[in-house]
Amino acid sequence: MASRRVELGFAEEAAEAWRLRSEQFPCKVGGRPAWLGEAGLPGPAELQCGACGEPRAFLLQLYAPRPGRPDAFHRSLFLFGCRRPACYRLAGPSPGSLRVFRNQLPRKNDTYSYDPPREEPPHEEPICANLQLKCGTKLCRVCGCLGSKTCSKCHKAHYCSKDHQVKDWKAGHKLSCLQSGELDVVIPDHKFLFPEYEIVIEPEETDSSNVSETEEEDQDKKELTSAANTDEAPDYLDETTLEAMAKHETQDDKIFQKFKEKISSEPEQIMPQLLNHLKVDSLGESIDWGTLAIYTCADSCNRGNHYTEEFVWKQDISSTI
């Protein structure tokens, strides 16, 4: 059986902000989304938390191209999550707090160069470049998502919702709204975005000297069978047999142990340590999960330039009682 290729993601501080722009096709955590396609962005209703009704924040994006598919030469996944910890307590495989979208483009498109992205920084840094797409679509000043609402006074600031318009007004737009013809050069911190990191992707290194999982499982089965077939009563089992039986507490324990062994070689990989980078811990309750697993269409079905919703599974660390 051919071995499956495993890639690990590591969250690192971005040395240069321009590397996280859309034209660099980044993998990133937090900040504002670096949208791939400029058409069919998910709207405010699609990014509204299904539990509390507030806008979800951009959580992370992964660049996952399909070179063998001409219509998915560029392909990215975008994950959004609610900022309210209480919304993550809801049971179910895909709670209303999370939502994931897929977008893909052919190599020849109206937005990006046919050639690979350049490896040097741009000559000029446009003001608020991440709040307007090349096609002219305006983005929300708070979250960087589709900004369908406009400030009624200056008619230049755009927002995805009334909630984010209020946040920006309190954060400083109230004072700068009519003071100049241009918007603020520096966007204030609205305390809404997650901390921004670049996700560095590296292939997993395998250690051929280790015993294979199959061999370990076979050995475990032999030990368990030996213990189960003994004619002695449990009170009189010898020490070797007791140790063999103790190794088989529960299936969940065994799976968790394998998981810990699997990630021990690269303890800084991004799941589930991502929560540490998001800085969501608080004295009360915090955003929490065990693992987030994203499932996409196996054929990457092309639905035009629109963002297609995929499936995200939130597995908790332990069941709530």
Least confident of 22-26, 208-212, 218-222: 208-212
SS3 state at 261:
helix
**Region 267-290: what's the mean pLDDT?**
76
Which is more confident, 71 or 254?
71
Cα dihedral sign for 104, 109, 115, 118?
negative
> Is residue 291 within a helix (H) or strand (E), and if so which, with residue range?
strand 291-295
Q: Which residues of 151-188 are buried (b: 16+ CB within 10 A; e: fewer)?
A: beebeebbbbbebbbebbbebebeeebeeeeebbeebe
pTM for the whole structure: 0.79
CB 147 within 8 A of CB 159: yes
Cα dihedral sign for 63, 96, 140, 138?
positive
Question: What pLDDT score does 279 carry?
Answer: 85
Percent of the chain with pLDDT over 70: 71
Question: What pLDDT score does 37 carry?
Answer: 95
Percent of the chain with pLDDT over 90: 46
Question: What pLDDT score does 7 carry?
Answer: 85
User: What is the distance between the alpha carbons of residues 186 and 267, in angstroms, rounded to a whole number?
Assistant: 36
SS3 state at 264:
coil
User: What is the distance between the alpha carbons of residues 178 and 173, in angstroms, rounded to a whole number?
Assistant: 9
Question: What pLDDT score does 1 carry?
Answer: 46
Question: What pLDDT score does 321 carry?
Answer: 44
Q: What is the amino acid identity at position 138?
A: K
pLDDT in tens, 165-202: 999 999 989 888 877 656 666 788 999 999 999 999 98
Instruction: Say yes or no to pLDDT of 97 above 50.
Output: yes
**Region 18-36: what's the mean pLDDT?**
95
Listing DSSP states for 66-116 in one string gives -TT-GGGSEEEEEEEE-S-GGGGG--SSS-TTEEEEEEEE-SS-SSS-SSP
Which is more confident, 184 or 42?
42
Q: Report the range out of 2-11, 14-23, 266-275 with the highest average pLDDT.
A: 14-23
pLDDT bucket at 211, cuts 50 / 70 / 90: very low
Closest listed residue to residue 142, CA positions, set 126, 125, 158: 158
pLDDT bucket at 213, cuts 50 / 70 / 90: low
pLDDT bucket at 99, cuts 50 / 70 / 90: very high
Helix axes 239-246, 213-228, angle to 10 degrees: 130
pLDDT bucket at 290, cuts 50 / 70 / 90: confident
Average pLDDT, rounded, for the chain: 81
Question: What pLDDT score does 295 carry?
Answer: 94
User: What is the distance between the alpha carbons of residues 99 and 80, in angstroms, rounded to a whole number?
Assistant: 5
C-alpha to C-alpha distances, 208 to 51, 76, 135, 257, nearest whole angstrom:
47, 33, 51, 20
pLDDT in tens, 107-160: 999 999 999 998 888 776 554 556 889 889 999 999 999 999 999 988 889 999
Question: What pLDDT score does 67 carry?
Answer: 82
Least confident of 114-123, 162-171, 201-210, 310-319: 201-210
In the numeric block, the tokens 């035009």 are attached to 304
Q: Where are the domains of the chain?
A: 7-124+189-205+268-315, 213-262
Listing DSSP states for 204-228 in one string gives PPP-TTSPPHHHHHHHHHHHHHHHH
pLDDT bucket at 303, cuts 50 / 70 / 90: confident
Longest dimension (CA), the chain: 89
User: What is the distance between the alpha carbons of residues 172 and 154, in angstroms, rounded to a whole number?
Assistant: 14
pLDDT in tens, 215-246: 555 555 555 455 455 444 445 566 666 666 66
Closest listed residue to residue 274, CA positions, set 19, 154, 108, 98: 98
